[in-house]
Structure 1
Amino acid sequence: MAVHIRLTRRGRKKCPFYRIVVADSQCARDGKFLDILGTYDPKCDPAAVKIDTEKLNHWVGKGAVPSVTVRSLIRKQAASAA
């Protein structure tokens, strides 16, 4: 079982809101997940990214692999915090 950190879509039509979750790689995009790490709201100006870094480090330490999009969101949050 490969574990990935990825986005799951919430919100209504044409108004997306995403959760950053830890899920099995074989589960559907909006299916079952193991843990919620944060949120991403692209409709805000600038886009709002909130990630719980303790949970993120815990799952990465266990071998979870972030998707390309989540990796870029982590970098954006780190750059805005610095």
Structure 2
Amino acid sequence: MLKIRLKRLGRKKRACYRIIVIDSRHKRDGKAIEELGFYNPLSKQSKVNLNKIQERIANGAQLTNTVKNIINKT
């Protein structure tokens, strides 16, 4: 099953995240199938490619709760 979830980047206590599509059985920072955007919780910036996310959802991918909240804010 494909999931749309966050991949952690950055150094300790200065995290930023990429929104990625990945198989749910792979680890959090594993190789992504596709990158769909990013989210920086420190500056509250986010950039999301909604068209690609809608395509992935139509093909059966599921959103995590955190990604769902980020998309609702944009």
**Does the pair score TM above 0.5?**
yes
CA-based RMSD of the aligned residues comes to 0.6
Identity among equivalent positions (%) equals 41
Q: Say if 2:46 is the partner of 1:74.
A: no
The number of aligned residues is 74
Report the equivalent of 2:22.
Answer: 23
Q: Spell out structure 1 runs of 4+ moving beyond 2 A.
A: none
Output one character per residue of 1:4-35: Cα deviation in whole Å (capped at 9) or x when no partner.
00000000111001000000000000012110
5+ unaligned residues in a row in structure 2: which ranges? none
Q: Which has the higher strand share?
A: 2
Q: Give the TM-score of the pair, scaled to structure 1.
A: 0.88
Q: Give the TM-score of the pair, scaled to structure 2.
A: 0.97
1:54 aligns to what SS in structure 2?
helix
5+ unaligned residues in a row in structure 1: which ranges? 78-82
2:67 aligns to what SS in structure 1?
helix
